[in-house]
Structure formats: structure tokens, C-alpha cells
Amino acid sequence: MFTKLKKKIAEEAAVSPRPGGAARIPRTISKESITSVGADSGDDFASDGSSSREDLCSQISRKNEQIRRLEAKLMASMRKFQEQNEEYQSNRAKMAEGFALALEKKDQEWKEKLADLEEEKKKLPDQLISTTKQNMSFFQKQEDLDELEGYQQQELAKIKHMLLQKEVMLLKMEEDLKLQREEAEATLVELRDSSHLSAKLSTDIQRLQEENTALTQQRSDLVAAQEGAEIKITELENRQTELQDFIQRLSLDLQKAQSATSSCEKRLNSVQADYDVLSLQHSQLKDKMTTEAEEKGVLIMHLQEKVRSLEKTLDGTYSGEEGIQSLIKEKNDLEVRLNETRQELLEGKALHKDNIFQLENRAENLNSKKKKKKKKKK
């Protein structure tokens, strides 16, 4: 989270010259020192130039020493801050996923604050470079004061003017540093709170780590299952679309079938009534045909016996031509009546068979319609 801030601090530490080398560039000069320098008049510098230079150098060295101490404190605070940040990051990395969301929100707030700090830090190097250049020029001029005494007042006036300008800049920089310190202190307070929170959650972290191992295995299994489920869901969605179309078609077919079923039920009731009537007629006709067949059979037997008796009578009793003619005529009449009776019997049997065949066909049709109706209802 604080990677950029650490990089900036490392770069500033690398750029800053160390004691014993070139003159250290002060980051800040106290308001009192600049005011005291600004309060000195040109006449004082003119009267005692070497004393003013020594005082100015001593003041600058004191301020540089103060700046070094402040920088050392700041670096110590930043190192402590970095160590606490690293400890916080290590603890935060071990936290369970349930606490990650809350800490992520806090992390986002810190990122926004650090972004603001980075924007301010981006402005500081340019100001420091400018101040460094001007201070280097100032020190160079101080080294040449013995040779440039004639131009001392002019140079000191320029330096005074430059210092007054730098005072405004340094005041602004001090305010910025103060704000940064306050933000750093607030950050440290929040980091302490986070440390306390991580101490409280240490027991939970250990338990969550154990659970995390099991959950990792479960997650791998769930990922594989999820991939299979996604494929299955895609197939099921396609199948669902097909089934919805099929259901719509079935709904239309069902509506048509229901209307057809209602009409078929009406027709079935009508046909059932006709079937009952025909069954009754069939039974009656069957009984009638049976009775008629029995009567015809008795009549045929009676006529056959009568023919045989007439033949015997013709052979033994009648001798005249008239008797023969009358017997022949009676015989012919009996044969005609016998043939007519046989023909009527055959016609009755054929009609009976046709009626039975029609009734059986209608019964089969009704049975097939009933079966189809039951299947549609199912």
C-alpha cells in the first residue's frame, strides 16, 4: 500500500548529501532565522562584513543541524512507520477473506491519501532543486566575498531579497510538512489500531489458516464442479429453450386436443347411445332370427315329411292321371314353399351376419377411441 511513499523516501535519502561532503542543502529554515537575517540592515553588513558572514554561516550551520536532527527524526519515524507498515502488511496478508473487504476499503482510502501526498511530493523536488541552486549560488558568493568587497552591499541586498522570497516558500513547505506529519501521525495511530486488531484476530487467523487449507481444496473441487456445472447449465439452458418451444407447441396441441376431446366426448356419448341401441336391437334381432330359424327349421322338417308322405301316397294310393297331376302340383307348391323358406332363412342369416359384423366394427372403433382418449388424458 505504501510502496510509492517508500520509494520517494529512498530517492530523497539517496539525493541528499551526507555530512563531510558538499554543503548539505537545508530543507527548511526557521522563521526566526530568516527574519533575523532580513532585519539586518545594509549598513551593518557594510560596517562589519566578516562578522556578518560568520554569523550568517553559524546561523545556517545551526539551521542545517536542526534540519539534520529533524530529518533524522523523520527518517526514524519513517523507518518505524515502514516497519509497522511491513508488519501490518504481513499480518494483513494472513487475514481471512472475510476481513479483506473491510481492510480493502481502508486500503483504498490510504491510496487516495498517498496519491495526494505523492502529488505534493512531486512538487517538492522542483522547489528543493531551485532552493539548492540558489543556496549554492549564495555559498559561492560567500566564498568570494574577500575578493568582491566592493560589490558586497549589492550582493547582500540580492541575497536578502532572495532569502525573503525563500522565506515564503519555506513557510509554505513547513506548512506542507506539518500537514504531512499530522497525516503520518494519524496514519501511525490507525496502524496501531490495526496492530491491536490483528493481535485480537491472531487466534482467528490461525483457525482461518487451517480452514483456508481445507477451503482451498474445496475451492479446487468446486472450481472443477463449477466448470462442469457451467457446461451443464449451458446445455440445460439450450434444453430449456427447446423445452419451452416444445411446451408452447404442446400447449397449442393440448388446446386443440381439449377442444377435439370435448367434441369427441360428445360424439362418444352419441355413439355410445347408438351402440346401446344397436346392442339392444342386435339382441332382439338375434333372438328373433333364432326364433325364425327354429320355426323355419321346424317348417322345413314338416314340409320334408309331408313331401315324403305325398311321394309315398303318390306311389301307393293315387292311380289316375288327375290324382297324379294334383299330387305333382301339390309337390311343386311344397317345393316352391320350401325353396322360399330356405331363401328367407339364408337371407335372414346373411342379414344377421352383416348386422353382427357392423356392430363388432363399431364396438372396435369405440374401444380404440376410448383408449386414445385415455392416453391423451394421461
pTM for the model stands at: 0.23
Q: How far apart are CA 85 and CA 7, in angstroms?
A: 14
Residue 27 and residue 128 in contact, taking contact as beta carbons nearer than 8 Å: yes
Q: How far apart are CA 296 and CA 339, in angstroms?
A: 11
Q: Quick one: how far is CA 307 from the chain centroid?
A: 106
| Alpha-carbon distances of 263 from 68, 271, 277, 334, 364, rounded to whole Å | 107, 12, 21, 57, 19
Question: Which of these, 161, 127, 158, 131, lies nearest to 142 by C-alpha position?
Answer: 158
Q: How far apart are CA 208 and CA 201, in angstroms?
A: 10
- Residue 346 CA neighbour count, 13 Å, CB half: 6
pLDDT tens-place values along the chain, 378 residues long: 456 666 666 666 665 544 444 344 444 444 444 444 444 444 444 445 566 778 888 888 888 888 888 888 888 888 888 888 788 777 766 665 666 677 678 778 888 888 888 887 787 777 778 777 877 877 776 676 666 666 667 666 777 788 788 788 878 888 888 888 888 788 778 777 777 776 776 777 677 678 778 777 877 877 787 787 778 778 877 877 887 787 788 778 778 767 776 776 777 677 677 767 766 776 777 777 777 777 777 777 777 777 677 666 656 554 456 666 766 777 777 777 777 777 877 777 777 777 777 777 877 777 787 777 667 665
